[in-house]
Amino acid sequence: MKQISVKVGLASCGVAAGAMEVYNAIKEYKEHAEGLDLKQTACIGMCFEEPIVELDGGAQGKLSLGKVDPAGIIDIIEAYRRGELTQANV
């Protein structure tokens, strides 16, 4: 399986908006998922869209997703891995 890069913005604006919970959900998922590289990043520059997650390495190229939540991020990552992430998710 191809390596997928996942970056979560964890600057103060992201943390205040729930990015740490999103990061922890992905971290837990990563324990059982192969080919996933999870990283933290600083401010992405769009505080109004936090929490922001950036996905890269899949057939759909590099995508930035705003206002993600812990409950939905795993489904989004899995859809991205399959190349089935719809515009509604982006």
- Residue 90 banded pLDDT, cuts 50, 70, 90: low
Distance CA 86, CA 83 (A): 9
pTM: 0.91
Can you list the pairs that 76-81 forms with residues at least 24 positions away whose Cβ atoms lie under 8 Å?
77/4, 77/6, 77/26, 77/29, 77/36, 80/4, 80/55, 81/1, 81/4, 81/35
The CATH fold of domain 4-89: Glutaredoxin (3.40.30)
- Residue 2 banded pLDDT, cuts 50, 70, 90: confident
Question: pLDDT (tens digit, 9 = 90+) per residue, 5-29?
Answer: 999 999 999 999 999 999 999 999 9
